[in-house]
Homo-oligomer: A and B are copies of this chain.
């Protein structure tokens, strides 16, 4: 790679502003009923499992960390000691296309077991969207036909055709949505920030 002299940051700023515009639009159009249903199911579930592939998997982990901090029994699918899913559990799938192969396959098993499946996706009409108990749609520009393969398979083939267009990123949208769900869960579970701090300080 030849070394270029960096003279401007126009695209950097442009991209940040486009993302903010996109987030604004997503917030305006947010499906309140689906969000409430997701919160309700999460609070009713005995344990919460999260799953996602690639960068969506990282978002799932970031969400799981916060849920753990709030006191939920939460597991990341694929980590070393994640137990078997039971009927009373809730599984949250993060998939922009709703078609990521490994996650869609696991989603079918979740429904086969009889657990609750929640999907956060850009595509309501997708494999995961169709089988889920709750679907929260966060609009994006993910092309469904390009995203149907397995995440590891695409990586192994060097198939990175899904680099996001400037200004949209399902991972950013979903991370902001899920972090804001955490804010709502703090209110719902009666844990003010002050209470959270004092509660945890007592443990030490």
List A residues at the B interface (Cβ < 8 Å): 1, 3-17, 19-20, 23-24, 26-27, 30, 32, 35-36, 39-40, 43-44, 54-55, 58-59, 61-62, 64-69, 71-72, 74-86, 102, 105-106, 109-110, 113, 150, 152-153, 155-161, 163-166, 169, 171-172, 175-177, 179-181, 183-184, 186-189, 193, 196-197, 200-201, 203-204
Contacts and interface: CB of A to CB of B under 8 A. Distances in A.
Copies in the complex: 4
Contact of A106 (B3, B24, B156, B177): B156
Contacts of A36: 6-9
Given A15-B184, A109-B157, A165-B193, A65 B80 contact: yes
A181 to B, nearest CB: 6
A69 B31 CA distance: 33
Given A44-B3, A157-B109, A12 B24 contact: no
A184 B110 contact: no
Shortest Cβ-Cβ A-B pairs, 10 listed? A84-B158, A15-B180, A15-B183, A12-B184, A69-B160, A158-B203, A58-B58, A68-B81, A11-B184, A6-B39
B83 A81 contact: no
Contact of A159 (B35, B43, B204): B204
Interface class of chain A by DSSP = helix
Given A86-B203, A172-B175, A193-B165, A109 B156 contact: yes
B113 A160 contact: no
Contacts of A65: 54-55, 80-81
Contact of A43 (B4, B172, B177): B4
Contacts of A109: 153, 156-157
